[in-house]
Structure 1
Amino acid sequence: MPNALVFQSDFGVSDGAVCSMYGVAHSVDDSLNIFNLTHDIPPFHIWEASYRLFQTTAYWPVGTVFVSIVDPGVGSERRSLAVRTIDEKVIITPDNGTLTHLKQFTGIAEARIINESTNRLPDSGESYTFHGRDIFAYTGARLASGSLAFEEVGPSAEPHTVCSLEMSPPFLSSNCVCGIIDILDIRYGNLWTNIHRSFLNELDIYYGDTLEVKIEKGSKLCYSRQMSFGRSFADSRVGEPLIYVNSLDHIGVAINQESFADSYQIDTGCSWKISLKKVQEKR
């Protein structure tokens, strides 16, 4: 039985790009089960592509093949990679930073450079702008179907050479924890940080406490306010901000039934800093 094949891209679904990748995959093996992680990655947003893989891959069975295409360098000298993670998922993607979070938090067991001469959709050799269809979807489908062994993808590469984007780990500073806005909970506009719940434990912060929250972009202060640390959205009134623990056990920031990101024009990445500090009760 073929392994699952999961697609992710910044293509959207308003034209035929995604559908053509499905067609290529089914031409390899029409019994393949194909799923979409998302095709709504903002155009060229490699950081978000990296995070969405990290957010998702752990919940899929061993052997699942993921094809991720956010590829502003298509046609350049950047490498095309197939990697096997420590937890035995396979990722097919350009080597442009898309594997940053998986490399850091899951681990890459093995990497191979895709041989684009042998692992390419037949009769597509003169096309250099749609590797998502011609190389990545085709190779991913062959791996998922079992018609191509991982060792046949191409020459091996040292996992440490896989390209990584800059990361900024969370840290404690006096009675404050500092981190970044890692990603948005897109539909609801909540902010997901890279601060694990355990940091709050170290600062003796518990549900019901009031925290001072500051968000900065570079040297610009974009938000500063006190809010409560709640167990769920039900712990705040509609329209009130709150701190909570998200589904990945990291700290989130939200406005109950409103978009925090839209309200304050907050985005993601290492340049978006956040700090949390417990407000001490007056005696």
Structure 2
Amino acid sequence: MRLIVFLSDFGFSAYVGVVKGVILTLCPGAAVVDLTHAVTPFAVREGAWHLLTGYAYFPEGSIFLAVVDPGVGGERQPLAVRTRRYYLVGPDNGLLYPVLEQDGLVEAVALPRPPGVVSTFEARDVFAPAVAALARGEALISLGTPTTVRVPLRFHRRGREGEVVVIDAFGNLITNLPPCPEARRYHLGSASINLTLPFYPTYAHAPAGELFVTTGSSGTLEIALSQGRAANALPLAPGTKIKLTAIDRLL
């Protein structure tokens, strides 16, 4: 039986439990793990980043149920897809796209909406049954009609210009920019900010109250405030384009 990994913007709501209840009713004994339900409501790009940076830590063959779906019940396709190593179920709104691009899309089907389902809760009525069927070992093609993925989502990166992708629970500004080897300081530039920030290898190296740059757990640069919230000090919302350029390096 395949592991199920659940990501959503449902927060601390009963919706999470109800979706799991449907899965377990249709596939008793299924193992369901939460990746996160703390995605900012409606923030598809944020959810896509968490999915992209988290999926490879799970066993091959795992099924990802990903629901950040501001267009629920609308024209967007309900999808079930297979990549080289995983399965993903969720809306065709870009949420799944970075993983499909990175791991390699093999097969995709559009899931049917059964008669009488509630259009405002397709995670329960459309996606959960599909996930349960995959966990039982049913073939992807049996779940719907072959389709193509219609909505792309790519994170902006051009040279040393990227974007703030997520503000984490500690107020760190996570970017999609890789570190520059041996950099000691970075120039941070955006439409509203022009700063020079030191680089520290860990949070513990930074003096209390200092803004700095470090390499986060996803292997990309993040801007942090030692023992504080960088998001409160810098007006850089997710999606903001920034540049982080090394201005001196260790010799």
TM-score using structure 2 length:
0.91
Whole-angstrom distance in 1 between the partners of 2:86 and 2:71: 25
Match of 1:170?
A: 158
Distance in 1 of aligned mates of 2:22 and 2:117: 17
Aligned-partner SS, 1:98: coil
Alpha carbons of structure 1 residues 59 and 126: separation in structure 2 relative to 1, 3 Å = closer
Question: Higher Cα Rg: structure 1 or 2?
Answer: 1
Equivalents in 2 of 1:236, 1:180: separation in Å? 23
Q: TM-score, normalised by structure 1?
A: 0.82
1:280 Cα deviation after fit: 5.4
Unpaired runs of 5+ residues, structure 1, are 118-123, 172-176
> Which of 103, 111, 125 is residue 106 of structure 1 equivalent to?
103
Partner of 1:48: 46
Give the corresponding residue for 1:151.
Answer: 141
Does the CA-based 8 Å contact 1:170-1:195 persist in structure 2? no
Once residues 45 and 65 of structure 1 are traced to their aligned partners in structure 2, the CA distance between those partners, rounded to angstroms, is 21
In structure 1, the partner of 2:231 is: 261
* Aligned residues: CA RMSD: 1.9
* Residue ranges of structure 2 left out of the alignment (5+ in a row): none
Change (3 A) 1:278 1:56: closer
Whole-Å Cα distance in 1 between the matches of residues 4 and 185 of structure 2?
Answer: 45
The count of aligned residue pairs is 249
Matches within 5 A, 1:214-229: 214-216=189-191, 221=192, 223-229=193-199
Specify the code of the residue in structure 2 equivalent to 1:4: L
- TM superposition shift of 1:85: 1.8
Post-superposition, which runs of at least 4 consecutive aligned residues in structure 1 deviate over 6 A? none
User: Deviation per CA, 1:146-192, whole angstroms, max 9, x where unpaired?
Assistant: 2x22121112223xx43113542231xxxxx22111222x1111112
Per-residue CA deviations over 1:58-113 (Å, capped at 9, x if unaligned) read 11011111111111111112111011123x11110010111232133333222111
How far apart are residue 126 of structure 1 and its match? 4.1
SS of 1:127's equivalent in the other structure is coil
**Partner-residue secondary structure (3-state), 1:143:** helix
Counterparts of 2:126 and 2:170 in 1: how far apart (Å)? 35
1:53 Cα deviation after fit: 0.8
The separation in 1 between residues aligned to 2:126 and 2:248, in whole angstroms, is: 57
For residue 205 of structure 2, what is the amino acid of its counterpart?
D
CA-CA distance at 1:239 after TM superposition = 1.1
Q: Is the 1:242–1:254 contact (alpha carbons within 8 Å) kept by the matching residues of 2? A: yes
Shift in CA distance, 108/262, structure 1 to aligned 2, threshold 3 Å: farther
In the alignment, which of 123, 127, 136 is matched to residue 127 of structure 2?
136
